[in-house]
């Protein structure tokens, strides 16, 4: 890594600490540059605004999260629901051990900074579609009525998940709520799939 890359990395790590602890509104770029052991001017050389910094921190940690979740071993699991449960438990453990990332992601989902809310929501939308496709592309169509194509099943699940996400995000979610949210989501998907069975 070059000196510039190391500085950039330190700023992102310091940004996670500050945004993860205090949220966007209360986070201080003064604390970020001090923790990163750099100058305030250096931060604004890389990022035009505090919102840009927040977005880059968010993107960096989302990318890291996705890279780690991609390494979760799902071999030997044919049932979609089993995969969802396994991944959900992995996410729970991950976020329990990475509370600052969890805080950042939840704030980005529920109260993204106005200046970058569209960018964040587009990013999250893309990730949701990617995860739905990866889970449900391998869905066993044996018990699904022939009136539905695989793509239709995936589209209906996607729509249902959007509705579920909207319902869940009406309230502040803590890591302690994760188990309840997981159970509600799995029950919802099972009900939806049951309605499309032969």
Domain count, the chain: 1
- Supply angle C-alpha 71, 105, 164, rounded to 5: 90
Structure token pair of residue 144: 């699904």
- Confidence class for position 181, pLDDT limits 50, 70, 90: confident
Indicate the pLDDT class of residue 16, thresholds 50, 70 and 90: very high
**CA–CA separation, 77 vs 2, rounded Å?**
42
The answer to whether 161 and 187 have CB atoms below 8 angstroms apart is no
Q: What confidence tier does 169 reach under pLDDT thresholds 50, 70, 90?
A: low
197 φ, ψ to 5°?
A: -75, 165
Distance CA 68, CA 70 (A): 5
Percent of the chain with pLDDT over 90: 42
Q: What is the pLDDT of residues 119-129, one digit of tens each?
A: 998 888 777 77
**pTM summary value:** 0.79
The domain in which residue 159 lies consists of 3-195
Residue-averaged pLDDT of the chain: 86
Q: Distance of alpha carbon 98 from its chain centroid, rounded?
A: 13
Alpha-carbon distance of 85 to 10, in angstroms, equals 35
| Sequence-distant (≥ 6) Cβ neighbours of residue 112 within 8 angstroms | 24, 120, 121
pLDDT digits (tens, 9 = 90+) for 62-110: 999 888 888 888 887 777 777 777 887 888 888 889 999 999 998 998 8
Tokens of 28: 């201080």
Q: How far apart are CA 183 and CA 85, in angstroms?
A: 9
Q: What is the pLDDT of residue 27?
A: 97
Which pLDDT belongs to residue 55? 96
Q: Which of 17-26, 63-72, 134-143, 152-161 has the highest mean pLDDT?
A: 17-26
| CATH (domain of 139) | 1.10.357.10
What's the rounded Cα separation, in Å, for the pair 95 and 137? 26
Q: pLDDT value at position 56? A: 96
- Which DSSP category does 61 fall into? H
* Of 85 and 45, the one with more pLDDT: 45
């Amino acid at each position: 890594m070059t000196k510039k890359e190391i500085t950039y990395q330190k700023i992102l790590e310091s940004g996670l600490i500050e945004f993860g602890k205090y949220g966007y509104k209360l986070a201080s770029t003064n604390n970020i540059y001090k923790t990163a052991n750099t100058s305030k001017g250096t931060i604004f050389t890389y990022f035009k605004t505090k919102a840009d910094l927040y977005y880059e921190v968010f993107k960096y940690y989302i990318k890291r999260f996705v890279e780690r979740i991609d390494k979760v071993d799902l071999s030997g699991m044919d049932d979609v629901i089993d995969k969802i449960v396994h991944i959900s438990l992995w996410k729970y453990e991950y976020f329990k051990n990475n509370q600052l990332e969890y805080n950042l992601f939840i704030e980005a989902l529920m109260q993204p900074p106005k200046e970058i809310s569209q960018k964040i929501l587009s990013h999250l939308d893309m990730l949701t579609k990617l995860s739905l496709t990866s889970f449900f592309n391998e869905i066993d169509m044996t018990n699904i009525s022939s009136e539905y194509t695989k793509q239709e099943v995936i589209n209906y699940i996607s729509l249902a998940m959007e509705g579920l996400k909207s319902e869940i995000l009406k309230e502040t979610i803590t890591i302690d709520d994760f188990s309840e949210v997981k159970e509600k989501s799995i029950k919802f998907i099972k009900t939806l799939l049951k309605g499309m069975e032969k």
